[in-house]
Structure 1
Amino acid sequence: MGQGESTEAPHLTLEQLSHTLAHRFAHNCYTPLELYCFNSVFRSLADRESGVRYWSEATLCRFLELPDALSVGPVMFQMASYLGAFPFPSQAPAILTHEALLKVVTILTERYGGVIRKRGREVWLREIYRSMAVFDRGARISTDDKEKPEASEPQTSTSNLGFAIDAPGDEDDLGQTDEDDELVLAALDSMDAVEVFKHGEQSNVHHSIIPTDNLLKLTQLLLLIAPIDPQQSLSTFASQLSEDRIKEIRQTAAIVLSSFGGIEQNPGVTYRTFNAVISNCLPFMFEGLHPLFEHFLFAKDFDLSKRKANEAAPTSDTHPVIPPPKAIANPEPILRQEGEILNHTVLNQLSFFIKGTELFRRLRPLYSGNTHGFSMGSFEKQVFNWRAPSILLVSGRLLPDSPSNARERTLSDMLPPKRLPSSIPDDDDASSTTLTFGAYIPTQWKHSHKACFGDASTTLFQLSPMHDVFAASSFNADYVYFNKPPTHPSGVGLGSAVPHQTSAHSASHGHIRLGPVSLHLDDALEFGIFTHRAEGGGSFHPSRLPCRRRRDWQDRFEIESLEVWGCGGDEVAEAQRKEWAFQEREAEARRRINLGTGDIDADRELLKMAGLIGGGRSGGSV
């Protein structure tokens, strides 16, 4: 600067480069109407001090309508303050000016593709991690990231620990640094300013952690807002926060957080653990941030009278009033009715790894053991006519190591004598711990006497006491089976092969051959068995959670609740109703066959036409 005209972007200051990126975001990532709405929202709520318009933490929390009960406001403001400095982490925390807030919205809604070519999911998640992380040089010592000795503590200090992740350190793996900053590099490359990165604009995720408490608070918010729409006020969900619902959300958030492992012993979550868990078990966890921050793109009618009265003065004490959202007449409920296992919080937990478009406003109860009866016949009647994907959920209490009654001994005799340990530690109260497993079945249910059904999108999962997901493998296709005796194994399950049946006698003897990663429910729907062998080799991949790596276990439990939910719209439900009506008419027609008229030959002919006698079968005496 100051040496004549130059078109080389590296000669621009960081502030000028940041302005250029915000300008490109504005004109390449938004429609004129969206940009107008954003400008209107920002100006209507911005404070002014020393000639600078900005948003405070209180303003951001009030606009997003974050519930006080979850105490998530400071976490969201930290994320926004970091992302507002993008792509220059050394400038964080940023004041949320117009340009900074525009960058926050662009990144959190993943609209940056119009400017930045790098759009990989992992790249985006890395920026989300950085926005929540704090610098901790010793974080890798307390986790499994112990590849290299630690360097000396840098002498850099900051007043906001939340952004000390970007403190310069002695990087041993400089070759990996470029990979970790792909989104930053892509942003700078779009402005021909990569030289800035080479001269120190690098951020370090390898010696950082997300504080456990911060991740817990954000998870609670995400469990609340998972089904939110871009124009739907968060207050519609916050109004449902009774004491019981808050307790429920906190318990579920703690279960989700247990996937990251050792949260009670460790101060936070490292990037490697964060990336492994989110990528494999919680791929859609942050989806709720998209519509939440798209609220900036829908202008509302604000009361600007207070702002007009004294436009130039600081307005930290006066803010325009946000009117309540306009109610939608007869909105479709997110979940038509709750079950014993599935409620709104569990539904939102499911949306962390199953697309919300398959779940929200599309689930219908098909079968409940405590309503329709714990029998294979009732299960078949309620579920088999559903010609769309479905979700099976089962929960129960862990059985003792030694059988305590005849039913448990019968189950034990069906299994190999060598028993794997339970997944619940011995020091925990196993008898009071609820185990919840489930499966997403993408195809219609059917009998599987000779072969299993399902496809590569079939998913086996655990919802409590730990959140885990076991994706289908391509090793074999033994995904789902439904068998009645004498087919062996008889019952309902996933991940175990259905062997060729030689005879009822031979099939009725011997142990059940359970798959390496499998769930089996016996034919009385009384007991369940979940098996996990770390070597894999079956229809489902073993756990990819770092805290469960190389662990074998088997949980045997007594079933307390069993549910099947259909994923589909009204057209699928109508097809099921028509099939039920057809079957009922056929059954009624068979019942109304006019027998006992005295004409034995005519009665016998009717029975032959109905297929009840003939072909070597006898209908008995008529």
Structure 2
Amino acid sequence: MGQATSGLTGSSSQILESFTKSECKELFNARCVLLFRPIELQTIASKLNITNIKEKNIITTSDLAYLCQLSNDKNEDNSSVSPQFKCVLNLLYNSFQVIGKFPFIQDYEIGKMNGLSIEELLVACIFHSGRYKKIFNKEFDYVKLLFISLALGDSEEEPTPITKPEYIENVIPPGELEPYSLELHDPFLDDDPINVRTRKIKWDTFKLIDNFDDVDVESLSINAHSLLELITLFLIINSIPKMNHDKMYDQLNEGIRERWQEFENNALFLLRYFKLNITNQNVKTETINFIEFKHTIDNLLPKFFNEGFTMLFKYGFLSSLISQRSRKNSTSNKENEEEEEAPPETTKSKKSISAKFVETRLVNLPSLSLIGTILTNLGSNINISNKNLVKLYAGSESGFSIRSLESKIFKWQAPTLLIVSGKRLKNKTITSNMRYQQFKSEYPQFFRSSENSLKDWQTENDKITYGVLIYQPWRNSNKRNFGDEQSIIFSIQPRVDVYKSTHNAILKGESVYFNNLGLGLGFGNNQPVNKNGVKKFLPGEVSLTIEANLEFAVFRHVSTSSAHAVSYFQKSTQEQIELTDFEDRFMITDLEVWGVGSTKELEEQRKQWQWEEKQAEARQSVNLRSLGEERAFLEMVGLVGNHNANGGSV
């Protein structure tokens, strides 16, 4: 195989050998296959009902759907795959084919009619799972490869591979006869098997790897709707506990998949970070270019796609195979299985640390998956899920009162997640609502009255949702802020954005106040003024302010710093917004605070609440006969004794 040459470059010896395109591809594929464990290859073969991967040349979309748990059978018509998944399934199938051609990416256009081979699927898995780092010693641009694969593979037509061997054999890719030089660590020996030879190659030096086969990335784009469907799928996957193949399928297809539209709505909020002007109306015609794609990955979603694909592979077709009989009988035995599993769950619930997670209007599986995605990709050390959240306060249940809020959240000694949502204030409310006029007089105006404060991407009908992650316990802070540099403000609706805490040795991240003397809550503000009957807010450049009646809120983003301005939080990194001054003024419709903690923290908090409850009961059962003169006073006001049904008065 090939022809070896050698030469001296400086003081180092360079060993080169020439190969045809087919030989290069065969060696690279072999190198990728070597990165799989035998049990993983056996698992894939078992799920495809073959003894080894060499027996099946072409993977169909039905096979892929089954392997990725988007389907529970291998019907050729994908009848068990929901319509929502078919679009993203085609995108996955085509994009895997693009990566499977690596490093000869441009062969995709010719090779796509032949279908996705099992070796190409394995190559795609190597890149998406991060195992490619064992092949290359230097940095590899995975984001560019991902974009190229999604852009070239973006097609609404369902792949219809021609699987006739004679057709495949007659297709000669361009450049097949052109020799390619590969640098070797050590010379090939005549008796070297292919697994030894492929390890001797310095794949980093292959020019097509660096230049991605000269693909013109700047001319490519991804349809926004196709990317929306992929994001939706990954948000669904992120909402599912890491389980084996059978259970994860049940979660995907019997429960979560019925809520595709809810997840897609949240995916659209995330997509608007890629491109601000994307809406429900234009999402099918808008496109995302490489600059927009890479900017979003670098600044907002460094882990999102890699982890999504890893979940798809690791907990899909690389997971251990469970008995097929149990799956086939899953429908008929469903009632029996529920009866068998019910007692342990019931027992566990009795011993649970907190009440079972119940979704609310603001915190539900789709929104929780989005929030968790945002915080995880920001590097937060807190994993947000329905397993470690405790609802501390919900305005719709406890009333929109700052006293009620205080009584519910001040006992929690671990991080908290505050979510506030509402409707953008319309001109009619701004000019006629007296309570807002009072708040407006205390909150300094940024835009002149003659200016239109709404940007092109803001509308009067917007629903607005912001969140704040706070690590320190809440406390009254009428004189001094609290908090640390781990605090984060993030917007959810109508678009996702993040505002991380600014590192400042003087401010120290003390960006939060809870003022129960009539000035509400602030994040990113200086302490408000409350002196001599004068109340005044002092908002920071990037800040969220909630007034004391929990009725109005303002998020302010000022991009141009002034000499006296305060910056507790960093400005937006969204390319179209980072240099823009804007405000979101809204009337609050929902406000919730959730406690976040580990099992240990939740248990400690439960014990604390139990102790406080017992103390309260003990105080209520004080023997009033021992109160002496105080008892006489209580009798006088009708609180004890005298058997006065109508109470008393002072």
TM range (shorter): 0.7 to 0.9
- Tell whether 2:128 aligns with 1:108: yes
Q: Is the CA contact 2:453–2:582 (under 8 Å) kept in the aligned structure 1?
A: yes
* C-alpha spacing 1:450/1:39, structure 2 compared with 1 (3 Å): farther
Q: Find out whether 1:292 has 2:312 as its counterpart.
A: yes
Deviation for aligned residue 1:492: 1.7
Q: Which amino acid aligns with 2:437?
A: R
Residues 198 and 384 of structure 1: is their aligned pair in 2 closer, same or farther, counting only changes over 3 Å?
closer
* Equivalence for 1:352: 373
Distance in structure 1 (CA, Å) of the matches to 2:629 and 2:210: 98
Q: Deviations over 1:18-39 (max 9, x none)?
A: 3333333333x44332343234
- Give yes or no for the alignment of 1:520 onto 2:545: yes
Aligned CA distance change for structure 1 residues 460 and 301 (closer, same or farther; 3 Å): closer
The separation in 1 between residues aligned to 2:471 and 2:139, in whole angstroms, is 29
1:460 matched to which residue of 2? Answer: 489
**For the residues of structure 2 that align with 1:213 and 1:368, how far apart are their CA atoms?**
34
Query: What displacement does 1:446 show?
Result: 2.3
3-state SS of 2:484 partner: coil
| 1:535 to 1:595, Cα distance in 2 relative to 1, 3 A | same
Q: Secondary structure at the match of 1:352?
A: helix
What do residues 283-324 of structure 1 show as CA deviations (whole Å, max 9, x unaligned)?
4432222121112222436879xxxxxxxxxxxxxxxx9886
Contact 1:479 1:494 survives alignment (8 Å): no
Distance apart, 1:462 and its partner CA: 0.8
8 A Cα contact 2:95 2:153, kept in partner: no
Within the alignment, does 1:59 sit opposite 2:63 as a pair? yes
Counterpart of 1:377?
Answer: 403
Name the CA shift for 1:424/1:281 in 2 (closer, same or farther; >3 Å): farther
C-alpha distance in 2, partners of 1:193/1:323? Answer: 52
1:98 aligns with 2:112: no
Amino acid at match of 2:33: A
Match of 2:11 in 1: none
Q: What does residue 512 of structure 2 align with?
A: 481
Name 2:251's counterpart in structure 1. 236
Q: Return structure 1 stretches of 4+ with deviation > 4 angstroms.
A: 1-10, 45-48, 195-200, 301-304, 321-335, 420-429, 588-604
Q: Supply the distance in 2 between the matched residues of 1:422 and 1:389 (Cα, whole angstroms).
A: 38
Tell me how far 1:246 sits from its aligned partner: 3.1
Partner of 2:104: 88
Q: 1:509 and 2:534 equivalent?
A: yes
The verdict on how the C-alpha distance between 1:188 and 1:249 changes in structure 2, with shifts beyond 3 A counting, is farther
Q: CA deviation at 1:114?
A: 2.5
Structure 1 residue aligned with 2:220: 208
Aligned length: 527
Q: Which amino acid aligns with 1:231?
A: N
Q: How much has 1:585 moved relative to structure 2?
A: 3.8
Q: Distance in 2 between matches of 1:190 and 1:388?
A: 50
1:338 matched to 2:359? The reply is yes
Residues 486 and 509 in structure 2, CA contact (< 8 A), matched pair in contact too = no
Task: Give the equivalent residue in structure 2 for 1:531.
Answer: 556
- The residue type equivalent to 2:586 in the other structure is F
**1:255: which partner in 2?**
269
2:231–2:267 contact (8 Å) kept in structure 1: yes
Q: Amino acid of the residue matched to residue 416 of structure 2? A: S
Q: Which amino acid aligns with 2:252?
A: F
Helix, strand or coil at the partner of 2:101: coil
Residue 32 of structure 2 corresponds to 25
Partner SS, residue 493 of structure 1: strand
Q: What CA distance in whole angstroms lies between the structure 2 residues aligned with 1:30 and 1:134?
A: 27
Instruction: State the secondary structure of the residue aligned to 2:537.
Output: coil
Specify the alignment match of 2:613 in structure 1.
584
Pick from 437, 461, 466: which aligns with 1:437? 466
Are 1:573 and 2:602 counterparts? yes
How far apart are residue 273 of structure 1 and its match? Answer: 1.1
Matched, 1:130 2:148: yes
Q: What secondary structure, in the 3-state scheme, does the structure 2 residue paired with 1:524 have?
A: coil
Q: Does the Cα contact within 8 Å between 1:226 and 1:348 map onto a contact in 2?
A: yes
Asked if structure 1 preserves the Cα contact closer than 8 Å seen for 2:239 and 2:366, the reply is: no
Instruction: Return closer, same or farther for 1:322/1:188 CA change in 2, 3 Å cut-off.
Output: farther
Equivalent residue number for residue 11 of structure 1 = 18
* Alpha-carbon spacing, 1:461–1:511, altered in 2? closer, same or farther (3 Å): same
Distance 1:424 1:86, change over 3 A: farther
* Deviates most, 377-386 or 461-470: 377-386
CA distance in 2, matches of 1:601, 1:250: 63
Q: Distance in 1 between matches of 2:627 and 2:545?
A: 52
State the distance in 2 between where 1:569 and 1:204 align.
48
Shift of 1:581: 2.8
Percent of paired sites with the same residue: 26
SS in 2 for 1:289: helix
CA distance in 1 between partners of 2:102 and 2:547 (Å):
55
Task: Tell me which amino acid in the other structure corresponds to 1:285.
Answer: F
Please list every run of 5 or more consecutive structure 1 residues that lacks an aligned counterpart in the other structure.
137-186, 305-320, 605-622
Matches within 5 A, 1:488-507: 490-498=519-527, 505-506=531-532
Counterpart of 2:272 in structure 1: which amino acid? S
Distance in 2, matches of 1:52 and 1:109, equals: 23
1:448–1:598 CA distance, 2 compared to 1 (3 A): closer
Q: Which segments of 5 or more consecutive residues in structure 2 lack a partner in the other structure?
A: 7-13, 71-80, 155-198, 350-354, 377-381, 634-650
Q: Secondary structure at the match of 1:440?
A: strand
Q: Please report the TM-score for the alignment, with normalisation by the length of structure 1.
A: 0.74
Q: Is the 8 A contact 1:227 1:288 kept in 2?
A: no
Match 1:392 to one of 411, 418, 435 = 418
The change in CA–CA distance for 1:496 and 1:192 in structure 2 (over 3 A counts) is: closer
8 Å Cα contact 1:384-1:445 kept in structure 2: yes
